[in-house]
Amino acid sequence: MIPFRTLLAAAGATALVSCSHAQTAQRPAPLPPPRDMPAEAKAFVDKVNKDLKVLWTKQATAEWVKNTHITDDTERNAAWANETVMAYLSGAIKDSLQFQGVAGLDADTQRMLNLLRLSSSLPAPSDEAQRGELASLAAKLEGMYGKAKACDASGNNCRDLEQLSEVMGKSRKYGELLAAWQGWHDTARPMRPLYAKLSALSNAGAREINFQNLGELWRSGYDMTPAEFEAETDRLWQQVKPLYDDLHCYVRGRLQKTYGADKVPDGQPIPAHLLGNMWAQEWTNVYPLVEPFPGQASLDVGKELVKQKWDAVRMVKLGEGFFTSLGLKPLPQTFYERSQFTKPRDREVVCHASAWDVTYENDLRVKMCIKPTEEDLVTIHHELGHNYYYAHYHTLPVLFQQGANDGFHEAIGDALVLSVGPDYYQKVGLLPGKRAESDKALINLQMKDALERVAFLPFGKFIDQWRWDVFAGKVTEENYNAAWWELRRKYQGVAPPVARSEGDFDAGAKYHIPSNVPYTRYFLARILQFQFHRALCKVAGQTGPLHACSVYGNKQAGAKLQAMLEMGARKPWPDALEALTGERQMDATALLDYFAPLQTWLKEQNKGRSCGW
């Protein structure tokens, strides 16, 4: 049957022909009314916000279930939810391109259109089969990481990441550390071909929305060009590199005394398994080996947590109390009812700490496997920083429900942790007795802080540098591992403790690689937290050295922080930074000011040493 509209069009054409002899000119067809593009764009983003709130809630719910109960079924369910979101975003982003360059858009609409284009760290191709494959790969890779165990040659004596990490943190036996390190890194080998396919598919998705590759998309989310952002991270790294180099030289010398010059030689990278952490990303666990002045000011908060039998909920309550001391509201009761604080005994879960707002309506949660350690207590404060950010912007449209940039989100809790020092721990009973007030005690404290915050800086920088190179094709599947260790040597000055080959996939042994979480945010956060801390101390009226400042209990600092949190991503990050700090550029001088006493001491200790690698 011929459609009615086709018949009507044909009839009109016939009429024109039949009367063409009777008239010398035809009246032109009326032009369609002009489109009101600004109004259309506003209506478009309004609909996208409503749609995404529903879709992202379904996705977050499926992801929560998968992360807290890993099975083939929950992985499949999460993959389906992710595929639905991928399909919607793929179409919405392409539809949004019609509004690029349109004049007269209001600021909110213009910003939401830009944030929409950048909204997925894993953009999917429009092809349905490829999109389904990408969603399945993403779920499978994260599940492989969560379920991974290192077993002996017979397939017995299997240990998960928690058990292996405990060895890495406590053992001082070279062989035990090596076995734990190698066992965990070997679990990532099967991920290698899957990750290569995931990279190819996500690159295809990025190209469909006018990015050269996925790395270019990731670097576009900072209110500057990708090239400008890469240059900015290099600039910040150069600011802090001298302090890192001083710390590296000192720590290597002290490890040499424990393990011998044959295993830790001068002028060479440090073997990666000797720094107290599975990835050598933070070195806090080797503090007893490098303590500058043994016996000066007890800093063993973990010992007191165990001795006093602190449980997970009490530790979380302590973290919440720091935020409420600033005048911020308590967490909702549902936070305590719905969170995962400890590792269940009856199922596999992802223990990697994370913070959530599952419904984008203040449904706050954390997912952790908390143990009574100072490291976990610090992590709690970090994750609650995310939760309080969520809480303050959850009334905004969902496209604005994110940090001013992703580094802001990571920096909030950590900025407040800078106020959680010995004096605070004494107040809450975790450092009993009178603390020695001396220069030696200060250097001890700063050393412990630097082993976490300064040691992390190059690790935070190189992770995405590796992925940017992978996505750009500079690093191919044939040299994944060689390129990984080349960057680790360049930035961190660490090396694998045993020979590695392209049969290995050591990048996959770090959670953020198989889970496809961009990582430069953590590097930026290590810079921003000190910049935030300096600004909050100024608001609080603190004078004196930055390392001595605490804003605990200061409502003026809390009000300043809250004003920035409420902005979400509504404004470019320089505006948010200026609202809190009065500055419009990220700056590492606050970090250097904070650690000035330690750096002076390190330079004195390193005289005559062969530093560098």
Place of tokens 């010995």: 422
* For residue 244, pLDDT beyond 50: yes
* Candidates 388, 522, 525, 569; catalytic one: 522
Does residue 522 have an active-site annotation? yes
Place of tokens 């470019």: 572
Domain boundaries, the chain: 36-148+190-211, 149-187, 233-605
169-195 pLDDT, tens per residue? 999 999 999 999 999 999 999 999 999
Does residue 410 have an active-site annotation? yes
Does residue 320 have an active-site annotation? no
99-142 pLDDT, tens per residue? 988 999 999 999 999 999 998 899 989 899 999 999 999 999 99
* Candidates 248, 273, 381, 382; catalytic one: 382
pLDDT of residue 285: 94
**Strand partners of residue 340:** 367
517-541 pLDDT, tens per residue? 999 999 999 999 999 999 999 999 9
356-383 pLDDT, tens per residue? 999 999 999 999 999 999 889 989 999 9
Does residue 383 have an active-site annotation? yes
pLDDT confidence bin for 155, thresholds 50/70/90: confident
Q: What is the pLDDT of the chain when averaged over all its residues?
A: 92
b/e map of 146-166 (b: 16 or more CB within 10 Å)? bebebeeeeeeeebbbeebbe
Average of per-residue pLDDT across 587-602: 98
pLDDT confidence bin for 296, thresholds 50/70/90: confident
pLDDT confidence bin for 309, thresholds 50/70/90: very high
* For residue 570, pLDDT beyond 70: yes
**Strand partners of residue 357:** 364
Q: Is 195 exposed, middle or buried (0-12, 13-18, 19+ CB in 10 A)?
A: buried
- DSSP annotation of 494 reads E
Q: How many angstroms separate the CA atoms of 519 and 270, rounded?
A: 23
Among residues 367, 412, 459, 315, which one has the least CA distance to residue 68?
Answer: 367
Does residue 124 have an active-site annotation? no
pLDDT of residue 435: 59
* For residue 552, pLDDT beyond 70: yes
* Candidates 383, 409, 509, 525; catalytic one: 383
Which stretches of 387-442 are assigned E, i.e. beta strand?
A: none
pLDDT of residue 245: 98
225-241 pLDDT, tens per residue? 999 999 999 999 999 99
Does residue 392 have an active-site annotation? no
Residues 6+ apart with CB under 8 A from 10: none
In the chain, pLDDT over 70 holds for what percent of residues?
Answer: 95
pLDDT of residue 340: 97
270: three-class secondary structure by DSSP: strand
pLDDT confidence bin for 17, thresholds 50/70/90: very low
pLDDT confidence bin for 436, thresholds 50/70/90: low
Q: How many angstroms separate the CA atoms of 185 and 499, rounded?
A: 12
pLDDT confidence bin for 4, thresholds 50/70/90: very low
* Candidates 69, 174, 352, 552; catalytic one: 352
pLDDT of residue 29: 76
